[in-house]
Amino acid sequence: MKIAKWLLVIPMAVVLTWGCSLDEPTGTSNGNGNTNTGDFSGLIINEILASNDAANTDALGGFDDWFEILNTGTDTVNIAGLFVTDDLTNLEQAQIPNTNAAATTILPGGFLVIWCDNESFQGELHVDFALSSGGEDLAIVAPDGISIVDSYTFGPQTTDISIGQNPDASGNWESFSEPTPGESNTGAPASFPPEISNISISPDSLTDATPIIISAKVTDANDDLNTVSLTFGEEGTVNNETAMSLTDSTYSADLGTFADGTRVFFFITATDAEGQTVQSDTLSFEVGFVPPVIFINEFLASNDSCCTDENGEFDDWIEIYNPGLEAIDIGGMYISDDAAEPTVWQIPDTAPDTTTIQPGGFLVLWADKEPEQGVLHVNIKLGSGGEDAVLTAPNGTTTIDSYTFGAQTTDVSMGRQPDGSDNWITFDSPTPGASNN
């Protein structure tokens, strides 16, 4: 049964032309660089968007991660030959090519955006790594591959919220509800709506004798959260509303018991004192539901030359393993790179011949943010700095399998050995779609 996913998009109360500050994000910067390197010494990292779902697009319409370079100097600078990296142990990770000076030149006081999309073939300003929403390092490196021109270390990021210096080049880093790639960050403070995350159901085993409790983390950047409520019911009658109570930093509601086999749908609504309202996806649970046993068995979060998809592209990937005796269709399940948001992407259920894993079989999901390439291409990218990989049941709430990983090495995968075990190791020779044994 396909579970519909609904998302209510609430417009911001204030529409802004420029970036707007929220609060000071976690991070450290070296100002204008650890080392002054001639003509490059005036270049700084001025703004970063590490989780881009709907904020800004590149020239081809892709919602890719990006960061902005500002030239604070008095001379025009061509950045061709510079390296950029999200790994301070690999300062020569990606080099800006010297093929189009018009594209790589920054005027005094000017801005230039670098798209971090693992798609360097799209032009001079696209590089072969993606930024991690979980936080990592970012650096501009001189052509010698040694001297750091500027760097910044950022913490966990919010989707479609950028961080940047405000005023420009000031060293004062803030968050922006309206990212401004290629423009100044100067603007008025923003008013942000509440955020709902970490939705969970307890207990883990849902029976007709156990009261069901729905919990979630609900926050408001302006610290003026007003009400949080939960609406629930069986399909066609999702109209029972109850207030959610706060304990520590978690809101929860006790729904009582339901008969075995009952499927209950629910969503959470939060409103702040300014009248801004957000609603979670409509999720569900089934009393007596037993999730299938399948595993996230191997993944590669930094793929430069390891293995290609059917289009010849070196994309991140996640391998799913079915150890059972029956075929399992993962169509309708969710895949995410953020444990707090398990429903980031729903795998289409329109091609069961493609999304079904045979007994003892393996299936590779390409984490390339290019779903137009097929049902096995999912709208997430893995962060080489470390993050989550989460597979969730079609109800949007039951975790099938998950794994949280740290910093990764380019072209080296991580996986279970033997397949399906709890023993995770690295593989210099990745085996997407095949056993790790």
Query: For 49-96, what is each residue's pLDDT tens digit?
Result: 998 888 788 777 888 899 999 999 999 999 999 999 999 999 999 999
- CATH code linked to domain 195-286: 2.60.40.10
φ, ψ of residue 179 to 5 degrees: the values are -55, 150
317-337: burial string, b at 16+ Cβ within 10 Å, e else: bbbbbbbbeeebbbbbbbbbb
CATH topology match: 27-176 vs 195-286? yes
Distance, CA of 20 to CA of 269 (rounded, Å): 25
- Give the DSSP letter of residue 434: S
E strand map for 92-224: 94-95, 105-106, 111-116, 126-127, 136-141, 148-154, 162-165, 173-176, 195-202, 212-219
- pLDDT value of position 191: 67
Q: What is the pLDDT of residue 383?
A: 87
pLDDT at 142: 94
Position 189 scores a pLDDT of 53
Amino acid sitting at position 399: T
Is the pTM of the predicted complex or chain greater than 0.85? Answer: no
Q: Tell me the domain boundaries of the chain.
A: 27-176, 195-286, 295-427
Sign of CA dihedral 22, 27, 31, 32: negative
Could you tell me the CA-to-CA distances from 270 to 161, 196, 273, 338 in Å, in that order?
A: 19, 8, 10, 21
Q: How far is CA 241 from CA 106, 202, 233, 396, 403, in A?
A: 55, 19, 9, 20, 34
Residue 59's pLDDT is: 76
CATH architecture of 27-176: Sandwich (2.60)
Round to whole Å and give the CA distance between 27 and 32: 15
Residue type, 423: N
Going by C-beta distance under 8 Å and a sequence separation of 6 or more, which residues neighbour residue 83?
91, 92, 93, 94, 95, 96, 140, 141, 142, 143, 145
* 295-427: CATH architecture: Sandwich (2.60)
**Residues in the chain, pLDDT under 50:** 1-38
* Cα 395 to Cα 1: distance, rounded to the nearest angstrom: 10
CA atoms of 49 and 226, how far apart (whole Å): 29
Output the DSSP codes for 11-38.
PPSS--SS----SPPSEEE-TT-SS--G
- Among 380, 390, 400, 351, smallest CA distance to 50 is for 380
